[in-house]
A and B are shown apart, each in its own frame.
Chain A
Amino acid sequence: MPKLYTFLKYFFVVLWACFVIAPFLWAISTSFKDFNSVTGGATYIPWLQFEPTLDGWSVLFKPGSQGGINIIGPYFNSIFVTLTASLISIVLGTLAAYALSRYTFKAGIVKNNDITFFFISQRIMPPVVLSIPFFIFLSSLGLLDSLAGLILVYIVLLMPIAVWIMVDFFNRVPREIDETALIDGCNPFQAFFKVVLPNSVPGMLVAGLFCIIFGWIDFFFAFILTFTKVQLLPVKIVALNSSITPWWSLSAAALVSVAPLIIVAFIVERYLSKGNLSGALK
């Protein structure tokens, strides 16, 4: 029985891995093809079945005057906007979540859980609903087509995720740890920064990962709130599309744009398995 179980386990893991990895391999192979190799039927192995070329990749880095789209500027814009918005969201979200988890708020019928829900309800709305308000809001602040404007909007989108994850996390951290810190001579701020925060790194990493993913993949707001001065990666990649779909450069762009997420996921995963609170409460 255990043998069969092990076999089935690995069977499904391998099967799943194939499903996940196959599109990547396909994209890698496509990114080195040219028009004829893409349209001329299914081919897989470079040199043997098709002649690899760097045309798809070079388009990404050539300036517009030479028929390219030059994604380097938008690439760094995207990284900057996503990281800044995520960082601010995590800081504010963690503070808000700690307060919601540990203190009792009451305003009429509104209690802690309602406030937590208000945060996440921002994500229930379809983004389209927010597009016009955000546009008007940023335009009256003079922040349209600017990095600062995008960061503001992304904080609105990302902070609910951080609050939601961190409230759940703090609710599972035993209150007695805070209390022990208070008894051991910490005032509430010291208790938070010296004891609670160092033990919250795993939760913050998860929240950070989600924020980075959701910030990085946003196309909609990046599209409507920017024009020419500032462009983010997803918007720039769409500019590749023309009468003939350039599958080769789209594949290359797709690979370039998922790379940061894969790197972040690998880094975070390492810390996730390391940190746990098992020593705090048996």
Chain B
Amino acid sequence: MIEAILLTIITAATPLVIAAIGELVTERAGVLNLGVEGMMIMGAVCAFAGSYLTGVPLFGVLAGILGGALFSLLFGFLTLTLVTNQVATGLALTLLGLGLSGQLGESFVGIPGVKLSPIVFPVLSDIPFIGPLLFRQDITFYLSIALVIGVNWFLFRSRTGLKLRAIGDSHGSAHALGINVIRTRYLAVMFGGACAGLAGAQLSLVYTPQWVENMTAGRGWIALALVVFASWRPLRVLIGGYIFGAVGILQLHAQAFGVGIPSQFLSMLPYAVTIVVLIIISHNRRTTLINTPACLGKPFVPDR
């Protein structure tokens, strides 16, 4: 029983962790992309299409990543090359993503999908309790863990990661030192898009292996809140992702058990918890100020 619940929590937390870690990199480079929801839903529909059309779910994963990354490029072009307002453009990306995915996915509605099969680690997966939880999962779970560790290493141990952080701290100084601000930001935005796409792929290939319109149901926004929760630190994304995942799953179980609270109020929980968490994290202005990348959301036009 507990094992089953933990398994569903992992499945629910994985897309949040993946999308948030991507957005974290984007924001560390100083770009605020509010289009996570849109990139995620595009990833979901592309992944379902890729899996359905080729019959190979793994191709679906690739299609999701590619779809998210390409879609984020649109945001990158507007905010980085045309220097449009990042908040408005992010909203636009979400609105367009929700519309476009509905249009693209129209013919997939009602078609049962193929679930991404787990990768079973021999020996390790036989460990009681832990084995099925950690070593009999699909590739997206392993990727989520690898991404958190990899991004943490990249940001704080690699020189390229240092450059990325420097750009987020002061794009003017970075430009004066000869660091290519725009190119790095494009890459960071696309990394965020690829991660959001992968998270979407997890939804349409693992979480509920089918295509449903608006199936992200606000997870992209929760991922954005998760980045704030994590104060832009990768390892904390993992913790936050699992807290949010657990809230989502536990309310579902509570609904199933019929705890006497109307199901709608239980369904509100993930959103209400997000707000509460934001309050707790943000109320200390000092720490928020120290942690937030100083150039987050600010436009950059190099003088030439």
A joins B in a complex: no
